Amino acid sequence: MTDAQRSGCPINLSLEVLGDKWSLLIIRDMMFGNRRHFRELLTKSEEGISSNILADRLKTLLEQGIITREDDPTHKQKGIYSLTEQGIELLPVLAQMAAWGYKYLPVTEELGIRARLLSEGGPKMWAEFMDELRESHLGAKRRRRGGPSVGERLQAAYESVVNGN
């Protein structure tokens, strides 16, 4: 990992960290799929990342302070990966990217439903979801709201499509 530093432009610096085909997918799976272990990220993703790439990206994301790793008390070899606040704040980036992809690219119905809901929900829903992530990844206390969480609503919508309404 050599720090290139091509320029001090915020977009360029972001791309130097996240500008590849896998890093944001890992973040996506941690956010929306609740994948927290190496094996979950490796096998339960749509795209099929290979283990060496996954190991390399997790290392980079750790170094960049986007995720953290702690030992799983139930298994000496397992690690639990969590998003940091910095990582959680990538949600708006992913949400905008998902909205753009949903609008212009050949998205399948099952995998597009989350993007549609998140786009329709707008920044207010994003903020609510980020609060939920702060609870599950940072252990932060969250002001409870009535009804199902954003995460639950997204998951329910996905399953609804898969099971044919």
Partner DNA sequence: ACAACCAGTTGCAAATCGCAATCAGTTAGG
Partner DNA sequence: CCTAACTGATTGCGATTTGCAACTGGTTGT
- The residues binding DNA (CB under 7 A) are 2, 20-22, 37-40, 42, 48, 50-53, 55-56, 58-59, 69, 74-79
In the complex, minimum distance from the CB of residue 89 to DNA, in angstroms, rounded to a whole number: 23
In the complex, minimum distance from the CB of residue 90 to a copy of itself, in angstroms, rounded to a whole number: 6
Q: Which residue, 135, 140, 141, is CA-closest to 152? A: 135
CB atoms within 10 A of CB 150: 20
8 A C-beta contact, residue 116 and residue 95: no
**Distance in angstroms (rounded) separating the CA atoms of residues 128 and 139:** 15
What sign does the CA torsion over 11, 16, 17, 18 have? Answer: positive
Q: Which residues bind a copy of itself (CB under 8 A)?
A: 6-17, 19-21, 24-25, 28, 46-48, 65, 86, 89-90, 92-108, 110-112, 115, 123
Q: Between 6 and 141, name the residue whose CB sits nearer to DNA.
A: 6
In the complex, minimum distance from the CB of residue 124 to a copy of itself, in angstroms, rounded to a whole number: 12
148 touches which of a copy of itself, DNA, none (CB within 5 to 8 A by kind)?
A: none
8 A C-beta contact, residue 152 and residue 129: no
